[in-house]
Amino acid sequence: MKTIIALGSNMGDRRKYLEDAITEIGKRIGEVTARSQIMETKAYGYTEQDDFLNMAIAVETEMEAHDLLHELNAIEAELGRVRTIHWGPRTIDLDIIYYGDRLIDDEELHVPHIDLHNRDFVLVPVAEIAGEIFDVRRGKTVAELLAALQDHNMEEVKQ
């Protein structure tokens, strides 16, 4: 199953946390088939924290979606992630953005990611590696979602 995972880090050696996470994903989850460039962004939600390094990767996996989520959470914990403040600082953040063309909504998992259309730090790297993916939640490709977000941001600047 082609899976898109977003990665972010804003504590310590941010680049090393991203690389260590990719290494573990390759060992434990599946083949990493594409990776975006790394971009630096301001924090989202809780903004009183350091800037993030963000990127996205494509992974071919045989894991079921919930097993994938649990494995990503285990990798986060092993890399020192502690969940204390919602949207707070973290050594590593690993989010399932797309799991093939599946729509999953339950207490534990929302795929496609529920808020990705508002997050340029997710859409820009995902569009770089998989702009053609069709978002079944929103009925548009990733490239179209990114263009809509950029248009919206330009409208806000004009006002």
- List the catalytic residues: 81, 90, 93, 95
Q: Which amino acid is at 96?
A: I
Give me 21's structure tokens.
């996470």
The upper half-sphere exposure of residue 95, i.e. CA atoms within 13 Å in the direction of its Cβ, equals 23
Ramachandran region, residue 139 (left: φ > 0; alpha: ψ -120 to 50; beta: rest):
left
